[in-house]
């Protein structure tokens, strides 16, 4: 008798847990979709670092603007002369945008009216050193991780001041996938011994490869 | 005073012997010198001169250690019938069993010493002066039980020999408690050594409750087998009286233990291979090879073949009555257990590594030379101890009745002896 | 502070006995040696240093003066043996800190930058690498199929993922239980450290470790003078003697001063997250509370303070 009742409770628990999970998932989806809108609606002080998640531990982003590979767009672009029409660009622009599945073009992220700035999907003006605010328009989950330290890289020590890298430090916004690279040398075996080639064939069925 | 004379007479006895005896001693010293030379090289360069690696970090030395602890423990198979079952025939030879135990423990300890990276820091184990991680570390337990066993056996043997030397009847009452302790202690040394391995949850090949029973069972094969060989040799070479009934008792012990050992092997094989998983990888490596690596398979199958043939000989009366076959069965048992409880136990524990790497190991010449030297040290120790022991037991070395007279005549006697030798 | 905690374990009388015994031995022999400062023999050390080496106390039992003496002797020996000047300091664990590490396996690309940075930082001999980067087959966690020796033009390779393994700094460390002489222990910040001058080299800890995280100095470490990291500490990256076991110690020489471990610093993808488990706002705690994490061989009960998680 007791066993049966336990069994039933456990089923109930499992069900409610499952239900809870679904609710959570829905909620998180809503939050994810809504986050930029909510902030956009606020209209207050767009693009203040840390504003998206005020409860996140404080941080500063290692600046990128002063790096030599950065061009001042306004050297060529004067105010208001940017043609908003999507087209193939010549001269010193990025040729290919391998990001966003062909739906993107320059002004998806760059601010055409104020070419030294970026613009979020909710029309906030954002400095190049705050590019993470742009990335978060789509990658909200990742952005949250980044704020809290679950994604990205901390370049300062583990305690005290928290200096972290911007998204664009590792991900070229025009081609964000990390490029393959040659690995460092193979690990050694003990001095005086030779490496043994006993590597098993790759299987364990996934699925029969 | 009697004690000094005892040691003097014992020491003298060592220098009395036939040409064969001296040839044997010189031969052993030659092997010791050869291995000693290799050991100096190992001390200078580190254990890099062996074939051990970070993947297989214990090798031939610890394999031999494990086997020898079993041999030492098996001396109890002479002690139990001698004292518990009150068998006079076995009590006559029990001293040889004790000597065997002492020698085996000493060799086991030597194998540990040559295996450790910093023998100069061995004092770190001394409680209080050093730091001894007892009772947490199983290795600390092993140190305790092994040194305790050594002392216990040395003590009992010494008491018996010293009493006989003085021509006194030994009082069973005085030393029976120590005998009882030694019996339990013997089981403990091999159990603790098994626990040393089965304590490692990260190595499924060792992490097995059957390991300790397997250790005990196989020790009771190899130990009596070795004792049978030694007793026969002693009977033949020295003419020491060893009654056949003593050997028969050992034979029965050994046969039963072999049967149990093989049964345990089968039980382990079934568990590993009926539904093979990650925990069976080491067994697969040992018995069948893993992904092309199979350096140990010839060893283990030889061991199993030797044990099966030996148990067959021992179980069929017509075969075991043939002295040649019988002795072959004993030798086979010793070698079989040496493989199975040595390389066959230690090495597969490391293959594959906990991270799945397969890095094989076989001992190199240096390890074999150093191990042979330890074997030679063991044989030398046994020869010398047994020689003195047997001489005392047979009454050839005795304290004279009148000590005063003995002491007075000491100088004269020595002179006369030294005069005698050239002739 | 930590020192007091450990020394207290010993009754004072025993301690006095031990000290006086060792001192007597020391004084006697030192007198015998006299003021001679013989070089050449004793493994490139002076006789006096060789002697002090032999009778050196366990790290946790050294008084402050003894420790200072030992540290300067270590610096002297490095000069004599490797021909380079190092500084060796004592780095006791920080209060209120327990270190934890998490690796984002979807970000690890198998470059092995951590492996090499670790080797340089920690003065590793040419045949020891604390970090094993395992190349794994997608769809499987079978370590037996892992390849540590992968070599490709470029990584990551399609169909593979990469699993870096190093010392997990277990909270229930089997290696510490195994050691017969207490030469390895877990400090209050959760790091399992080794006193290289107390280890007897029995290698039982290597048998006990379920993560292949311990390494033996089969011969004297081959450290070229120009590649030695001179910034060392006693319990971490100082040059090790022959015949002792060593392991990853979360770069105690750095992390106990607030810095990141070398592997975290070297990781080009930011896959490594290091921090204080006791700080609820730390990045490592965020990962533990918000990501689906797992630990390697958790079923063994070793309680690793080393987690894996994935972005995907």
Nearest-angstrom CA–CA distance, C211 and B353:
8
Q: Do residues C291 and C155 make contact, with C-beta atoms less than 8 angstroms apart?
A: no
Q: Is residue B285 part of a domain?
A: yes
Nearest CA in chain B to A201: B291
State how far the alpha carbon of C259 is from the alpha carbons of A59, A162, C228, C262, in Å.
16, 11, 19, 9
Q: How far is B57 from chain A (nearest CA, A)?
A: 11
What are A107's two structure tokens? Answer: 């002004």
Q: What confidence tier does C21 reach under pLDDT thresholds 50, 70, 90?
A: low
Q: How many CB atoms lie within 10 A of CB C100?
A: 24
What are A9's two structure tokens? Answer: 């409770």
User: CA nearest A52: which of A119, A134, A118?
Assistant: A134
Residue A190: its chain B contacts at CB < 8 A? 48, 53-54
- Lowest-confidence segment of A121-125, A151-155, B348-352, C280-284 by average pLDDT: A121-125
Number of domains in chain B: 1
Mutation test of the interface with chain A: which of B54, B117, B294, B297, choosing the one with the most A Cβ atoms within 10 A? B54
State how far the alpha carbon of C65 is from the alpha carbons of C35, C72, C89, in Å.
21, 11, 13
Eight-class DSSP state of A180: P
Eight-class DSSP state of A201: P
Q: What confidence tier does C28 reach under pLDDT thresholds 50, 70, 90?
A: low
Q: Which residues have CB under 8 Å from B409's CB, separation 6+?
A: none
Question: Within the 58-87 window of chain C, which residues sit less than 8 Å (CB to CB) from chain A?
Answer: none
Q: Which of C116, C127, C274 sits opposite A189 (nearest CB)?
A: C127
Mutation test of the interface with chain B: which of C24, C186, C207, choosing the one with the most B Cβ atoms within 10 A? C207
pLDDT of residue B231: 96
Q: Is residue B416 part of a domain?
A: no
- Which percentage of chain A shows pLDDT scores above 90? 32
Residue A124, Cβ density class (10 Å: 0-12 exposed, 13-18 middle, ≥19 buried): buried
User: CA nearest B3: which of B159, B176, B175?
Assistant: B159
Nearest CA in chain C to A188: C127
**Which part of chain C has CATH 3.30.70.20?**
89-312
Question: Within the 187-226 window of chain B, which residues sit less than 8 Å (CB to CB) from chain C?
Answer: 196-197, 199-203
User: CA nearest C270: which of C97, C100, C118, C106?
Assistant: C106
Beta strands C306-309; C184-186: pairing state? unpaired
Structural domain spans, chain A: 6-43, 52-179
Q: At what angle do helices B244-273 and B211-237 cross, to 10 degrees?
A: 150
- Lowest-confidence segment of B208-212, C32-36, C145-149, C250-254 by average pLDDT: C32-36
Backbone phi and psi for residue A205, each to the nearest 5 degrees, phi listed first: 45, 80
Q: Which residues of A touch C (CB under 8 A)?
A: 57, 142, 145, 148-160, 165, 170, 178, 180-192, 195, 199-200, 202-207, 209
Q: Is residue B54 part of a domain?
A: yes
Nearest-angstrom CA–CA distance, C157 and C147:
12
Residue B139: its chain C contacts at CB < 8 A? 178-180, 202, 204
Domain that holds residue B44: 2-392
Q: Does the structure show a pLDDT above 90 at C29?
A: no
Residue C165: its chain B contacts at CB < 8 A? 355
Q: Do B53 and A191 touch (CB under 8 A)?
A: no
Q: Do A198 and B360 touch (CB under 8 A)?
A: yes
**3-state secondary structure (DSSP) of residue B383:** helix
Highest-scoring range by mean pLDDT, A23-37, A109-123, B113-127, C26-40: B113-127
Q: Does the structure show a pLDDT above 70 at C170?
A: yes
Neighbours of chain B (3+ CB pairs under 8 A): A, C
The pLDDT tens digits for C252-272 are 999 999 999 999 999 999 999
Q: Do A198 and B292 touch (CB under 8 A)?
A: yes
Q: Which residues have CB under 8 Å from B263's CB, separation 6+?
A: none
Residue A186: its chain B contacts at CB < 8 A? none
Residue A178: its chain C contacts at CB < 8 A? 109, 269
What are C155's two structure tokens? Answer: 């990584």
What are B414's two structure tokens? Answer: 């020595």
Q: Do B115 and C202 touch (CB under 8 A)?
A: yes
Bond from prior residue into B135 cis (ω within 30 degrees of 0): yes
Q: Do C127 and A191 touch (CB under 8 A)?
A: yes
Q: How far is C176 from chain A (nearest CA, A)?
A: 24
What are B204's two structure tokens? Answer: 């499924």
Categorise residue A114: left if φ over 0, alpha if ψ from -120 to 50, beta otherwise: beta
- Lowest-confidence segment of A51-65, B281-295, B316-330, C48-62 by average pLDDT: A51-65
What are A45's two structure tokens? Answer: 């002080």
Angle ∠(B4,B10,B16) on CA atoms, nearest 5:
140
Mutation test of the interface with chain C: which of B117, B129, B366, choosing the one with the most C Cβ atoms within 10 A? B117
Q: Which residues have CB under 8 Å from C181's CB, separation 6+?
A: B121, B124, B125, B130, B131, B132, B133, C198, C199, C200
**3-state secondary structure (DSSP) of residue C154:** coil
Per-residue DSSP letters for B266-312?
A: HHHHHHHHTT--GGGHHHHHHHH-BTTB-TTHHHHHHHHHHHHHHHH
Q: Does the structure show a pLDDT above 50 at C40?
A: no
State how far the alpha carbon of A190 is from the alpha carbons of B23, B51, B57, B151, in Å.
42, 9, 11, 39
Q: Does the structure show a pLDDT above 80 at C8?
A: no
Q: What confidence tier does A66 reach under pLDDT thresholds 50, 70, 90?
A: confident
Mean pLDDT on A73-83: 75
Q: Which of A190, A193, A198 sits opposite B293 (nearest CB)?
A: A198
Q: How many CB atoms lie within 10 A of CB B67?
A: 29
Q: What confidence tier does A209 reach under pLDDT thresholds 50, 70, 90?
A: low
Neighbours of chain A (3+ CB pairs under 8 A): B, C
Q: How many CB atoms lie within 10 A of CB C126?
A: 13
Q: Do residues C211 and C130 make contact, with C-beta atoms less than 8 angstroms apart?
A: no
Angle ∠(C98,C229,C53) on CA atoms, nearest 5:
80
Q: What's B335's domain CATH number?
A: 1.20.1630.10
pLDDT of residue B143: 95
Q: Do residues A163 and A62 make contact, with C-beta atoms less than 8 angstroms apart?
A: yes
Q: Tell me the β-bridge partners of A113.
A: none
Instruction: Give alpha helix (H) positions in B199-243.
Output: 211-237
Nearest-angstrom CA–CA distance, B137 and C184:
12
Mean pLDDT on C186-192: 97
Q: Do residues C53 and C197 make contact, with C-beta atoms less than 8 angstroms apart?
A: yes
Q: Is residue B43 part of a domain?
A: yes
Please say whether the dihedral angle defined by the alpha carbons of residues C184, B148, B77 and B381, taken in this order, is positive or negative.
Answer: positive
Q: Do residues B353 and B55 make contact, with C-beta atoms less than 8 angstroms apart?
A: yes
Q: Any idea which architecture C89-312 has in CATH? A: 2-Layer Sandwich (3.30)
Q: Is residue B326 part of a domain?
A: yes
Q: Do residues A128 and A64 make contact, with C-beta atoms less than 8 angstroms apart?
A: yes
Nearest CA in chain A to B359: A196
Nearest-angstrom CA–CA distance, B367 and B38:
8
Nearest-angstrom CA–CA distance, A151 and A165:
10
Q: Which of A190, A196, A199 sits opposite B54 (nearest CB)?
A: A190
Q: pLDDT tens, position by position, for chain B (423 residues)?
A: 789 999 999 999 999 999 999 999 999 999 999 999 999 999 999 999 999 999 999 999 999 999 999 999 998 999 999 999 999 999 999 999 999 999 999 999 999 999 999 999 999 999 999 999 999 999 999 999 999 999 999 999 999 999 999 988 888 888 899 999 999 999 999 999 999 999 999 999 999 999 999 999 999 999 999 999 999 999 999 899 999 999 999 999 999 999 999 999 999 999 999 999 889 999 999 999 999 899 999 999 999 999 999 999 999 999 999 999 999 999 999 999 999 999 999 999 999 999 999 999 999 999 999 999 999 999 999 999 999 999 999 888 888 765 555 555 555 544 444 444 443
Name the one residue in this structure whose structure tokens are 């603007």: A65
Q: What confidence tier does A112 reach under pLDDT thresholds 50, 70, 90?
A: confident
**3-state secondary structure (DSSP) of residue B165:** helix
Q: Do A189 and B48 touch (CB under 8 A)?
A: no
- From first CA to last CA, the distance across chain A in angstroms is 49
Q: Do C208 and B131 touch (CB under 8 A)?
A: no
Q: Is B140 part of the contact surface with chain C (CB cutoff 8 Å)?
A: yes
Q: Do C155 and A182 touch (CB under 8 A)?
A: yes
Q: Do residues B91 and B82 make contact, with C-beta atoms less than 8 angstroms apart?
A: yes
Question: Number of CB pairs < 8 Å for A and B?
Answer: 28
| B1 vs C225, more confident | C225
Q: Is C212 part of the contact surface with chain A (CB cutoff 8 Å)?
A: no
Eight-class DSSP state of B48: G
Q: Which of A189, A190, A198 sits opposite B291 (nearest CB)?
A: A198
Q: Which of C14, C180, C217 sits opposite B140 (nearest CB)?
A: C180
Q: Does the structure show a pLDDT above 70 at A33?
A: no
Backbone phi and psi for residue B127, each to the nearest 5 degrees, phi listed first: -55, 150
Nearest-angstrom CA–CA distance, C211 and C247:
11
Q: Which residues have CB under 8 Å from A102's CB, separation 6+?
A: none
Q: How far is B286 from chain C (nearest CA, A)?
A: 16
Q: Do B360 and A196 touch (CB under 8 A)?
A: yes
Q: How far is B369 from chain A (nearest CA, A)?
A: 18
């Amino acid at each position: 008798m007791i066993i049966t009742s336990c069994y039933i409770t456990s089923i109930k628990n499992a069900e409610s847990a499952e239900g809870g999970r679904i609710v959570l998932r829905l909620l998180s989806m809503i939050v994810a979709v809504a986050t930029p809108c909510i902030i956009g609606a606020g209209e207050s002080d767009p693009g203040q670092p840390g504003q998206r998640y005020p409860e996140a531990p404080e941080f500063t982003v290692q600046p990128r603007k002063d790096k030599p590979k950065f061009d001042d767009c306004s050297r060529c672009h004067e105010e208001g002369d940017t043609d908003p029409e999507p087209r193939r660009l010549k001269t010193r622009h990025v040729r290919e945008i391998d990001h966003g599945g062909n739906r993107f073009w320059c002004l998806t992220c760059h601010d055409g009216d104020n070419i030294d700035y970026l613009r979020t999907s909710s029309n906030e003006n954002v400095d190049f050193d705050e590019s993470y605010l742009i990335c978060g328009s789509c990658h909200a989950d990742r952005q949250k991780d980044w704020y809290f330290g679950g994604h990205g890289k901390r370049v300062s020590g583990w305690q005290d001041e928290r200096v972290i890298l911007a998204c664009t430090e590792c991900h070229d916004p025009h081609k964000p996938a990390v490029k393959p690279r040659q690995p460092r040398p193979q690990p050694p075996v003990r001095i005086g011994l030779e490496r043994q080639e006993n590597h098993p064939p790759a299987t364990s069925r996934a699925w029969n490869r | 005073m009697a004690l000094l004379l005892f040691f003097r007479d014992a020491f003298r006895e060592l220098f009395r012997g036939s040409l064969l005896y001296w040839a044997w001693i010189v031969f052993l010293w030659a092997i010791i010198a050869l291995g000693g030379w290799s050991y100096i090289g190992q001390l200078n360069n580190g254990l890099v001169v062996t074939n051990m690696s970070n993947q297989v970090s214990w090798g031939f030395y610890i394999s031999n250690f494990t086997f020898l602890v079993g041999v030492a423990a098996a001396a109890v198979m002479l002690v139990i019938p001698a004292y518990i079952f009150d068998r006079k025939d076995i009590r006559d030879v029990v001293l040889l069993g004790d000597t065997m135990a002492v020698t085996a423990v000493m060799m086991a300890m030597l194998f540990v010493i040559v295996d450790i990276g910093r023998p100069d820091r061995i004092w770190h184990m001394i409680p209080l002066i050093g730091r001894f991680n007892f009772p947490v570390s199983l290795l600390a337990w092993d140190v305790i039980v092994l040194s305790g066993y050594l002392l216990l056996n040395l003590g009992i043997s010494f008491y018996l020999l010293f009493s006989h030397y003085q021509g006194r009847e030994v009082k069973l009452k005085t030393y029976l408690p120590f005998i009882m302790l030694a019996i339990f202690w013997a089981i403990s040394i091999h159990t603790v050594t098994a626990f040393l391995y089965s304590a490692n949850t990260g190595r499924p090949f060792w992490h097995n409750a059957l390991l300790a029973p397997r250790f005990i069972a196989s020790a009771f094969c190899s130990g009596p087998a070795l004792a049978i060989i030694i007793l026969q040799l002693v009977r033949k070479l020295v003419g020491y009286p060893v009654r056949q009934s003593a050997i028969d008792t050992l034979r029965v012990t050994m046969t039963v233990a072999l049967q149990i050992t093989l049964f345990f092997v089968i039980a382990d094989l079934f568990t590993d291979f009926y539904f093979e998983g990650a925990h069976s990888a080491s067994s697969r490596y040992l018995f069948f090879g893993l992904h092309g690596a199979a350096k140990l398979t010839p060893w283990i199958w030889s061991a199993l073949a030797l044990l099966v043939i030996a148990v067959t000989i021992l179980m069929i009366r017509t075969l075991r009555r043939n002295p040649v076959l019988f002795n072959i069965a004993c030798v086979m048992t010793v070698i079989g257990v040496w493989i199975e409880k040595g390389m066959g136990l230690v090495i597969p524990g490391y293959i594959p590594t906990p991270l799945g790497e397969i890095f094989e190991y076989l001992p190199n010449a240096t390890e074999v030379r150093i191990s042979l030297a330890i074997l030679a040290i063991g044989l030398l120790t046994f020869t010398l101890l047994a020689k003195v022991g047997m001489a005392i037991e047979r009454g050839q070395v005795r304290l004279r009745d009148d000590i005063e007279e003995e002491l007075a005549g000491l100088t004269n006697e020595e002179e006369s002896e030294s005069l005698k030798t050239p002739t | 502070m930590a020192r007091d905690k450990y020394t207290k374990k010993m009754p004072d009388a025993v301690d006095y006995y031990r000290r006086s015994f060792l001192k007597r031995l020391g004084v006697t022999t030192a007198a015998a040696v006299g003021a001679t400062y013989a070089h050449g023999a004793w493994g490139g050390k002076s006789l006096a240093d060789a002697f002090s080496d032999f009778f050196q106390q366990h790290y946790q039992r050294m008084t402050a003066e003894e420790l200072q003496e030992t540290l300067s002797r270590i610096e002297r020996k490095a000069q004599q043996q490797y021909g380079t000047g190092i500084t060796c300091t004592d780095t006791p664990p920080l209060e209120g800190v327990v270190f934890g590490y998490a690796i984002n396996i979807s970000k690890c690309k198998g470059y092995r930058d951590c492996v090499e940075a670790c080797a340089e930082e920690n003065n590793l001999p040419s045949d020891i690498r604390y970090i094993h980067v395992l190349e794994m087959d997608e769809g499987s966690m079978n370590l037996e199929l892992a390849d540590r020796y992968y070599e490709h033009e470029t990584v990551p390779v399609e169909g593979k993922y990469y699993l870096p393994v190093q010392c997990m700094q277990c909270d229930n460390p089997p290696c510490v239980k195994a050691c017969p002489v207490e030469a390895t222990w877990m400090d209050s910040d959760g790091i399992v450290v080794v006193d290289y001058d107390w280890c007897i080299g029995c290698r039982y800890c290597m048998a006990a470790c379920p993560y292949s995280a311990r390494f033996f100095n089969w011969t004297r470490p081959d450290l070229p003078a120009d590649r030695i990291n001179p910034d060392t500490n006693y319990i971490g990256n100082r040059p090790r003697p022959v015949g002792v076991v060593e392991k990853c110690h979360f770069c105690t020489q750095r992390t106990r001063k607030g810095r990141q471990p070398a592997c975290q610093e070297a990781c080009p993808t930011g896959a490594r997250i290091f921090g204080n488990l006791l700080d609820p706002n730390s990045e490592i705690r965020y990962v533990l509370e918000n990501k689906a994490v797992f630990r390697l061989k958790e079923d063994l009960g070793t309680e690793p303070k080393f987690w894996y998680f994935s972005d995907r």
